[in-house]
């Protein structure tokens, strides 16, 4: 049976004075400044055919190399898994080869970035487990920093909660499917 995140036994609450007095170090952003934080979620959206996938690929290549990209700054080379659900292998290969990746960063990108070609699955309990297993074949899950899904709509499973344009259904999907995947792989991943 799939593992689900533990229920919250108590809700943490702090007096403001304790928060103001806390001088412990801040966790490093996965993509600074506060674009993607540990255990965080970022969603990039836009109209069809505006280049969301190309933007994401460029961002992920730079993140895997630990290099800034358009103001997004990783703290170090990140381990990145991208579930690509739209672009077939040969077209994915063509797009990545056309990126003309800087040879200086290529060794890190080759090692730290794993992308699936077009995958047809729904991110239901079975899909979550399949993706978790795929990630575990390529990375020590505790060391995975980022899980990217492109495009989200192709794996969207609202169940009985409505469609992808329904805010409640999408929130439920993000919490019950995407967050569950992150929790199962590495709770600190973004």
Residue 10 has pLDDT above 90, yes or no: no
Output the CA torsion 148→152→155→159 (10° steps): 120
146-150 and 113-115: which strand pairing?
A: unpaired
Q: Is the model's pLDDT at 175 over the cut of 90? A: no
Q: Determine the average pLDDT of the residues in 63-83.
A: 96
The neighbour count for residue 182, using CB atoms within 10 Å, is 22
Strand partners, 73: 32
pLDDT band of 70, cuts 50, 70, 90:
very high
What is the tens place of the pLDDT at every residue in 110-119?
999 999 999 9
Confidence of residue 43 (pLDDT cuts 50, 70, 90): confident
Q: What is the pLDDT of residue 65?
A: 97
- Listed in order, strand segments (DSSP E) in the chain are 80-84, 113-115, 146-150
- Indicate the range of 8-17, 28-37, 155-164 predicted with least confidence: 155-164
Q: Which of 11-20, 58-67, 157-166 has the highest mean pLDDT?
A: 58-67
pTM for the whole thing?
Answer: 0.86
Query: Mean pLDDT across the chain, nearest whole number?
Result: 89
Judge contact between 85 and 154, C-beta under 8 A: yes
Q: What's the burial of 20, exposed, middle or buried (CB within 10 Å: 0-12/13-18/19+)?
A: exposed
Higher pLDDT, 138 or 6: 138
pLDDT band of residue 151 (cuts 50, 70, 90) is confident
Give the model confidence (pLDDT) of 153-169 as tens digits: 888 876 665 666 667 88
Q: Which positions ≥6 away from 135 have C-beta within 8 Å?
A: 81, 114, 141, 144, 147, 185
**The dihedral formed by the CA atoms of 60, 65, 67 and 69, expressed in degrees to the nearest 10:** -20
């Amino acid at each position: 049976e799939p593992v689900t995140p533990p229920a919250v036994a108590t809700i943490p609450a702090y007096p403001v004075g304790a928060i103001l007095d806390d001088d412990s170090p801040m966790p490093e952003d996965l993509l600074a400044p506060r674009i993607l934080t540990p255990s965080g979620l970022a969603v990039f959206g836009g109209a069809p055919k505006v280049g969301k996938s190309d933007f994401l690929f460029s961002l992920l290549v730079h993140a895997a190399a630990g290099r800034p990209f358009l103001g997004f700054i990783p703290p170090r080379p990140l381990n990145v898994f991208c579930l690509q659900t739209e672009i077939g292998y040969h077209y994915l290969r063509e797009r990545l080869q056309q990126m003309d990746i800087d040879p200086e960063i290529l060794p890190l990108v080759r090692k730290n970035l794993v992308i699936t070609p077009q995958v047809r699955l729904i991110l239901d309990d079975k899909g979550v487990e399949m993706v978790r297993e795929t990630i575990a074949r390529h990375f020590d899950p505790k060391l995975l920093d980022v899980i990217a899904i492109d495009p989200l709509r192709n794996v969207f499973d609202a169940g009985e909660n409505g469609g992808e344009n329904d805010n409640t259904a999408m929130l439920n999907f993000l919490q019950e499917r995407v967050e569950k995947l992150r929790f199962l792989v590495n709770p600190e991943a973004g």
